[in-house]
């Protein structure tokens, strides 16, 4: 897996390091072989980061052709138009089959390359109005963490780049590999792309006693049970309305959406690590029937459980 990461003068080390860290750890942890990242600049010269560090082990745009993934991890904060040369590099890479990834403000040069026309895109929430004004044909989502069209992916600001890069690993190597990597990096193994990127977090009620967190832990240990809002609220000793409000404020998504995501994640884990039948997995994960599981799985991942197992399953799983 060849990954070309674009760099420019004045970018922060965090933005540059995010894809280098996540994709580099794939090989360092032995999760897959052949994953290699290359940093490149438009003129092939080194850059100085916003922190004042010199990065001079870089290549030029000649490394982009043939790259499996082209990452634009950021863009200058004054949001200049992408020049013709960069637009050409991005367009040619996409036409040749590279997946193009724009993290944070990196959505702007991708938008300038017309790859997002008629499609949804996300960037840092504070820059979303500028992106929409700049390219009316792009459907800007000011709230999502990341949006993946298969050939083009954009993410929201700063730390959500980690989520997007882990998502890329998950789509290519499976959820077990992504979870191992996330555990090593000490970050959440999976956050939905449509989870809110900015959540108003009120000061916790001293009377809450950590009931939301305790209920989430209980739910994860009981995915095979009825986990309706009423059941969750009852465990938290709250009314359904109050629980839903507090849960959404704390987590950034609704209880029902969160439960569905956790169930689907467990389905993927079991598909990868066991030889259980689809019916057994459906019961274990709270879907009730294989039909319901297949419907939800296909809606979430655009593939079937059987196809997913064939791609990511470990031979001789338990």
Label each residue of 69-97 as H, E or C. EEEECCCCCCCCCCCHHHHHHHHHHHHCC
pLDDT of residue 186: 81
What pLDDT sits at residue 143?
Answer: 76
Residue 198: per-residue pLDDT: 41
Q: Does domain 2-185 match CATH 3.40.50.880?
A: yes
Structure confidence at residue 60 (pLDDT): 97
Report CA torsion sign: 6, 109, 1, 302: positive
Predicted local distance difference test score (pLDDT) of residue 253: 84
Query: What's the pLDDT score for residue 203?
Result: 34
- Top CATH class, 257-312: mainly alpha
Spatial distance between the Cα atoms of 220 and 240, rounded to a whole number of angstroms: 19
The vertex-72 CA angle with 67 and 78, nearest 5°, equals: 155
Task: Specify the pLDDT at position 301.
Answer: 84
Q: How confident is the chain (318 residues) per 10-residue block, as mean pLDDT? A: 97 96 95 95 97 96 96 97 96 97 97 96 92 94 87 90 92 88 78 46 46 92 95 95 91 89 92 93 96 94 89 69
121: Cβ contacts below 8 Å, ≥ 6 apart: 102, 107, 110, 111, 131, 138, 139, 140, 141, 147, 154
**Cα 140 to Cα 115, 129, 167, 168, 244, distances in angstroms:** 13, 8, 20, 21, 27
Domain limits, the chain: 2-185, 211-252, 257-312
In 3D space, the residue among 28, 23, 30 whose CA is nearest the CA of residue 101 turns out to be 23
Using DSSP's 3-state secondary structure scheme, residue 64 falls into: coil
Q: What is the pTM of this model?
A: 0.71
């Amino acid at each position: 897996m060849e990954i070309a990461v674009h760099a420019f003068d004045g970018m922060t080390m965090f933005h540059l390091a995010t894809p280098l860290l996540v994709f580099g750890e794939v090989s360092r942890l032995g999760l897959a072989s052949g994953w290699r990242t290359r940093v490149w600049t438009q003129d092939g010269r080194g850059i100085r980061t916003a922190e004042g560090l010199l990065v001079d082990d870089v290549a030029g745009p000649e490394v982009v052709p043939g790259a499996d993934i082209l990452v634009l991890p950021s863009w200058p904060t004054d949001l200049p138009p992408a020049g013709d040369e960069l637009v050409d590099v991005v367009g040619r890479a996409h036409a040749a089959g590279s997946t193009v990834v724009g993290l944070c403000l990196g959505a702007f040069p991708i938008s300038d390359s017309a790859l997002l026309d008629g499609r949804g895109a996300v960037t840092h929430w504070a820059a979303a109005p500028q992106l929409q004004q700049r390219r009316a044909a792009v459907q800007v989502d000011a709230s999502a963490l990341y949006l993946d069209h298969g050939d083009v992916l954009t993410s929201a600001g700063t730390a959500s780049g980690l989520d997007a890069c882990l998502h890329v690993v998950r789509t290519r190597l499976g959820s077990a590999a992504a979870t191992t990597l996330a555990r090593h990096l000490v970050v959440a193994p999976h956050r939905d792309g449509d989870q809110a990127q900015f959540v108003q977090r009120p000061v916790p009620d001293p009377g809450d006693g950590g009931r939301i967190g305790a209920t989430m832990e209980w739910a994860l240990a009981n995915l095979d049970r009825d986990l309706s809002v009423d059941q969750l609220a009852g465990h938290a000793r709250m009314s359904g309305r109050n629980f839903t409000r507090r849960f959404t404020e704390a987590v950034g998504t609704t209880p029902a959406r969160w439960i569905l995501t956790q169930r689907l994640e467990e389905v993927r884990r079991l598909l990868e690590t066991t030889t259980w039948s689809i019916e057994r997995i459906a019961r274990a994960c709270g879907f009730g029937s294989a039909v319901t599981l297949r419907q939800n799985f296909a809606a979430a991942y655009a593939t079937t459980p059987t196809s997913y197992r064939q791609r990511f399953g470990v031979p001789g799983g338990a």
